Homo-oligomer: A and B are copies of this chain.
Amino acid sequence: ARVTEVLFFPCESSCVERLFASGDASKQPCPCGMSHSLKDDSFSRLLFHLLSARVSLDVCVFSFSNTELSRAVLHLHTRGVCVRVIVDRDYMYITGSQIGMLRKAGVPVRHELSRAVHMHHKFAVVDGRLLVCGSLNWTMTAVQSNQENLLVTDDPAVVAPYRGQFQRLWLANDPA
């Protein structure tokens, strides 16, 4: 089953609780007061694809301050999914950055060590088979306020080079 989805932002806020819920909890009425549209918005689709990880999630993003996305990463980490995160050296300490919190929770995070001006990628690979890439940084502004795009694909000809590049960057930025 080929997956090809293109997601555009900004995106209206809607409730994503059902994406995190499992079993009986997912059948309870939600008390949040937000929109529960039946048609998925772009952000819900992004979360859905990330939360589909069963084995691994590799995240390579310039900036990571979106609290819902860090909740998703922690959720996967807690469930035993092997999460790895690479971020930019200069942007890992910006206001609202989730990196410190992820590290405290035990998620392995590496930052660009080379003299590259910026590690400017914005992509993630789910279970080594599904790629999410585009212009969207993992921030609140990107999701809610910017004009942005994301492509989601499981075309092996596209996914394989990104998987390889993640592995190269992961090894090249080993602080040990």
Partner-B contacts on A (CB < 8 A): 4, 6, 8, 10, 62, 112, 114, 116-123, 133-136, 141-142, 145-149, 151, 153, 155, 157-158, 161-162, 165, 169
| Docked-complex contact A118 and B146, CB < 8 angstroms | yes
Complex A-B: 23 CB contacts under 8 Å? A4-B155, A4-B157, A4-B158, A8-B161, A8-B165, A62-B135, A116-B145, A117-B146, A118-B141, A118-B145, A118-B146, A118-B147, A119-B147, A120-B142, A121-B147, A121-B149, A133-B134, A133-B149, A134-B134, A134-B135, A135-B135, A147-B169, A153-B158
Give the dominant DSSP class at A's interface. Answer: mixed
CB distance from A156 to the nearest CB of B (A): 10
Each complex incorporates copies of this chain amounting to 2
| Docked-complex contact A123 and B149, CB < 8 angstroms | yes
Q: Which residues of B contact A6 (CB under 8 A)?
A: 158, 161-162, 165
CB distance from A41 to the nearest CB of B (A): 15
Complex CA–CA separation, A62 to B118 (angstroms): 16
Nearest neighbor of A122 in chain B, beta-carbon distance: B135
Complex CA–CA separation, A161 to B142 (angstroms): 19
* Besides A121-B148, A133-B135, 5 new A-B residue pairs in contact (Cβ under 8 A), listed by A number: A6-B165, A119-B146, A119-B147, A133-B149, A151-B158
